[in-house]
Amino acid sequence: MKKTVAFHNLGCKVNSYEMEMMIKTLAGKGFIIVPFDQKADIYIVNTCSVTNIADRKSRQMIHRARAANPDAVIVAAGCYVNTHGSEEVTAEGVDICVVNEQKKDIADILDSYLGSREAGEACAQTDISDLEVLHTRCFIKVQDGCDQFCTYCIIPYARGRIHSRPIAEIVDDIKGYVSEGYKEFVPTGIHISSYGKDRPEDGEDLLGLLEKISEIDGVKRIRLSSLEPRLITEDFARSLSRIEQLCPHFHLSLQSGSDAVLGRMNRHYTTGEYIQAVDILRDHFDDPAVTTDIITGFPGETEEEFRETVDFVEKVGFYETHIFKYSRRRGTAADRMEGQLPEKVKHERSNVLLEINKRKKSEFEDRHISERVVSEVLFEDTEDIAGKTYMTGYTREYIKVCAAGDRYHAGDIATGTIRRQSDIIIFEDRS
Ligand code: SF4
């Protein structure tokens, strides 16, 4: 009899990618994928352990799954298992623990737990096109692990040292995804700037990878995930600008605009190096979207250090700033630092940056909104906004736009102008 499986994902893009892979594997073996809030035979919680809060959410989802069906098989996969060990995780009511390295073997693991190969083999192949019909953008995992050891982060312990997938293997995967209808590809990893550094003898690096991806027929867009500022040199940016499909959208994690805080975070760059990287990108791309992450209330962050961050964020003029209140993570150096700040301070500082983010985002969008400037949009999904259904998509700069009517479908690429209408940005065709 076919078994139903419900997934819940927590955490980063790499985790999302790995969950998609597990879904594909199990769907291909005949398991029926159902929503997490539905009663299922098997629940798989793809956990995260980046902060104590992420640990708590992972435990909550495990308990929620158990409550939804006391007889279900509960699987905890990923970083929470890697960092806490099977014994501790099993005590939460989990039946099967799967570390990151075992996710690719999920079908075999379930098969052997269920005690019969029938569960996976007797069922007809499931048509998984339903799972993908709304997907036009594909996060493709190109590397795992990190050896940067930021003092607040547990990831190098949870996922280990860097490990890059060979270019040929990634290219093969992408060709398959192109044939399934994906148009945009986002090379994803824990630290993609380190791509290839674990295998210098192969001579493969991030630029080489991007160039190879751009040569694949049917790849319409390539969007980069988070980059390390020190990777951005004149040569690198010039080469990137020659890749036609590369979206002018660069996410450079800043975390703090204070050099003293960056030092305590062990971030390996200064604000001077950071702004230089942004300037180089702006020299080679026409008003690209530069986005970032900031942590507020890092241990010992003084009012003056926070002011430096505020000034720096104003100066750079990010399209989007993702703001995180510092969250302690057991086992990290930052957790043991003096000067842990009260939640109230983190919250207040976060609010200051949220206000700046709102203003800067709007300024960036306004520069791209014009009767004359033609934007290319890749449509992805339908969405109900204020009682009306729109097809939504993203420009190359990652500005979200909405098109009324039923002219466009997921996967369509169109060019036109964009204008603001209340809280949304409307796309109008000019092709
Ligand atoms: S770069 Fe720093 S924050 Fe990012 S995964 Fe590596 S150690 Fe963690």
- pLDDT on residue 431: 65
Residue from 15, 147, 153 whose mutation best tests the ligand 1 pocket (most atoms within 8 A of CB): 153
- pLDDT on residue 134: 44
The token pair that represents 10 in the structure block: 């927590």
Residue nearest (by alpha carbon) to ligand 1 atom 2: 150
**CA end-to-end distance (rounded Å), the chain:** 51
pLDDT at 370 over 80: no
- Average pLDDT over the chain, rounded to an integer: 90
| Ligand 1 center from residue 192 Cα (angstroms) | 11
Q: What residues have CB less than 8 Å from 110, skipping those under 6 apart?
A: 26, 31, 42, 73, 75, 96, 119, 120
| Ligand 1 center from residue 194 Cα (angstroms) | 11
| Ligand 1 center from residue 148 Cα (angstroms) | 6
For ligand 1, residues with CB inside 6 Å are 146, 148-150, 153, 155-156, 190-191
pLDDT (average), residues 367-381: 85
Angstrom distance (rounded) from CA 196 to CA 206: 7
The token pair that represents 104 in the structure block: 């690719």
Residue 286 confidence class, pLDDT cut points 50, 70, 90: very high
Percentage, residues of the chain above pLDDT 90:
71
Angstrom distance (rounded) from CA 395 to CA 401: 7
| Ligand 1 center from residue 190 Cα (angstroms) | 7
| Ligand 1 center from residue 276 Cα (angstroms) | 21
CATH says 133-225 is which class? Answer: alpha beta
Give Rg (Cα) of the chain.
22
List the single range of 12-16, 99-103, 122-126, 356-360 with lowest mean pLDDT: 122-126
Alpha helices by DSSP H, 242-342: 259-265, 271-284, 303-316
- pLDDT on residue 225: 87
Residue 411 confidence class, pLDDT cut points 50, 70, 90: very high
- pLDDT on residue 145: 93
Ligand 1: nearest atom to the Cα of 266: 2
The pLDDT tens digits for 158-192 are: 888 999 999 999 999 999 999 989 999 999 999 99
pLDDT at 344 over 50: yes
pLDDT (average), residues 48-55: 88
| Ligand 1 center from residue 149 Cα (angstroms) | 6
Strands 424-429 and 413-421, bridge-based pairing: antiparallel
The pLDDT tens digits for 52-83 are: 888 999 999 999 998 899 889 999 999 999 88
pLDDT at 116 over 80: no
User: Nearest 5°: phi and psi at 413?
Assistant: -115, 130
CATH of domain 250-368: 3.30.750.200
Strands 320-325 and 289-296, bridge-based pairing: parallel
In order of 220, 294, 317, the CA distances from 194 in angstroms are 25, 21, 26
pLDDT at 409 over 60: yes
3-state secondary structure of 249: strand
The token pair that represents 65 in the structure block: 């799954």
247 or 20, which is more confident?
247
pLDDT at 421 over 50: yes
Note the residue count of the chain.
Answer: 431
pLDDT at 132 over 70: no
Under a CB-based contact definition with an 8 Å cutoff, are residues 73 and 96 in contact?
Answer: yes
Beta bridge partners of 414: 377
Residue 371 confidence class, pLDDT cut points 50, 70, 90: low
Ligand 1: nearest atom to the Cα of 190: 5
- pLDDT on residue 375: 86
Q: What superfamily would CATH give domain 4-128? A: Methylthiotransferase, N-terminal domain (3.40.50.12160)
- pLDDT on residue 46: 94
pLDDT at 131 over 90: no
pLDDT at 267 over 50: yes
Ligand 1: nearest atom to the Cα of 255: 3
Ligand 1: nearest atom to the Cα of 146: 6
pLDDT at 8 over 70: yes
- pLDDT on residue 389: 92
pLDDT at 118 over 60: no
The pLDDT tens digits for 201-240 are: 989 999 999 999 999 999 999 999 899 999 999 999 999 9
Q: What residues have CB less than 8 Å from 356, skipping those under 6 apart?
A: 310, 313, 314, 321
| Ligand 1 center from residue 14 Cα (angstroms) | 13
pLDDT at 44 over 60: yes
pLDDT (average), residues 76-100: 89
